[in-house]
Amino acid sequence: MKKFALFYIAPAAFLMLVSGCDKYLNEAPLGLVNENVITEKPTINTVTSLVDASYIPLSSTLNLFGNWDWSNGLVIRNDFIIEDIASGDMLKKWNPDGDQAWMDQLSDWTFTASNGAFNGIWSYDYEGVSRTNRAIPQLMNKDLMTQIGMDETSRERLLGEVYFLRAFYYFDLVTNFGDVPLLLKPLAKFSEAYEVAKRVSKDEIWNQISEDLNQAYTLLPQGRFSSTAEKWRASKGAAIALQAKTALYNQKWQDVVAKVNELQTLNYYHLNTNYFDNFDATKEFADEEVIFAYDHQQGKTPVRGNGLTALIGWGFIAPSQNFLNEFEANDPRLAYTVNTDDKNVYKLLGAKTSTYKGSDDSPVNRIYIRWADVLLWKAEASNELGNYSDAISLINTVRQRARTTPTFSGSNAPQGTLPDRNPASTDKAQIRNWLIHERRVELGFEAHRMNDLRRWGIAKEVLSSMGVNFQDNNYLYPIPQGEIDKSGGLITQNPGY
């Protein structure tokens, strides 16, 4: 058994610790360096590698943690399944078939706690937590940093990055599962894993997210990019944005407005003139809108390409008719999102062609936060605070960019396309409906929809209208059954599963 294996597996609270571990213990974890090197011969490169490895569970690279392990949800990160398919925006495939039926169970909400979608996202997120927990103690050890010759500016930046990433992974866990185990240090033996194999309240998780983001905010440098040489790294702007999103999900409306105002004052981000510039693989890190994205790259060893484009080539990822019907007449965003005739999802393909369709190593980035999303957070908070004119103005700003974006063929949208919402409205419910619509069409297929429906408390209403048997207990996903079994029941299940 390689010495690094236990450090790789144990922190994830029984992800692969108790059962079926031989398969993983005999393989080098992707993106990690040998534990002997870290502890016995640390260098700037080995410490930086720990930080770099902490990003990897955010990627859409195929088979990071398994070898075509579809049933356990480990072939690819499952955001699009638990967000877009589950919400009714996306169908598994253009042509229905029996392939990967567990994905269809998310579509019709007939899943059980053993469904691979939940094991997959849980595994990816806790692997991310595990990796950040290995990096933080190294970077906190100032004597070690002096020994290896890392300057204080670099140390603080890297530490800020991993605090941001740990907050990001826990944000994903708490919004999907509620109470979850809280791991804040690397674990080296089985007894420690058993000690942390218990759920803590979601309030404690949210508090930890806020603490980590406060650390990231303090440590990350000023500027749009924390590193001009590696623009993909988490930045201060990303930390502020996630603080705003955390406030949004906890209905701290004034904090949302304050944080977005802070970002606006920094003047780092603007809506791209052309909607598709957000997704164009040739304009990555040169656009004005993307705040945080995973940087996929072609031809790297270990592999770093986007495998979601391969799934599109295999017939996966199709729009539901309900989603298509949501778009207003002549909205340019529809054609940039999906071409139903050619079965192309352009915003996920990163091009207005099928260039990367079927590629398991495409350079198309995975976008997690962009400015239009952030502006709509502020619009939502403003509406809740009774600042109706501000909310409508922000919604109209997003609509204006959409209607002035050239159509897919390069022409202008017809006169009257996407007219402004009435700026004089004081009808809070009406404004909220405008916002709900705008988020769906602006952010379609970007893995936000299901969380939106749940936090608004309208998931049951919306999905029931689609003929889906959504129940009250479904506002949280089930804890993966395998985690409960491997913990001997120390990890408990969400009600109703």
The tens digit of pLDDT for each residue in 122-171 reads 999 999 999 999 999 999 999 999 999 999 999 999 999 999 999 999 99
How confident is the model over 353-392, as pLDDT tens digits? 999 999 999 999 999 999 999 999 999 999 999 999 999 9
Q: SS3 for 335?
A: helix
What is the CATH architecture of 1-220? Answer: Alpha Horseshoe (1.25)
Rounded Cα distance, 382 and 259, in Å: 13
Mean pLDDT of the residues in the chain: 92
Q: Can you say whether residue 304 is alpha, beta or left, with left for phi > 0 and alpha for psi between -120 and 50 degrees?
A: alpha
CA angle 135, 245, 252 (to 5 degrees): 120
In sequence order, which residues have a C-beta less than 8 Å from that of residue 218 and are 6 or more positions away? 160
CA distance 147 to 141: 10
Please state, in angstroms and rounded to a whole number, the distance separating the CA atoms of residues 452 and 459.
8
| pLDDT-based confidence at residue 14 (cuts at 50, 70, 90) | very low
Model confidence band, residue 111 (pLDDT cutoffs 50, 70, 90): very high
Predicted TM-score of the model (pTM): 0.94
Alpha helices in 274-387 (DSSP H): 308-313, 321-326, 332-337, 346-349, 371-384
Q: Inter-axis angle of helices 236-249 and 152-177, to 10 degrees?
A: 20
Residue 113 CB neighbours (<10 A): 18
Q: Which of the four pLDDT bands, split at 50, 70 and 90, describes residue 184?
A: very high
The number of C-alpha atoms within 13 Å of 260 and in the hemisphere containing its C-beta is 29
SS3 content of the chain, % helix, strand, coil (to 5): 50, 5, 45
The C-alpha atoms of residue 495 and residue 479 are separated, in whole angstroms, by 10
Tell me the residue length of the chain: 497
Please tell me what DSSP assigns to residue 493.
P
* Residue pLDDT, tens place only, 257-291: 999 999 999 999 999 999 999 999 999 999 999 99
Q: What sign does the CA torsion over 241, 247, 249, 254 have?
A: negative
For residue 288, give the amino acid letter: E
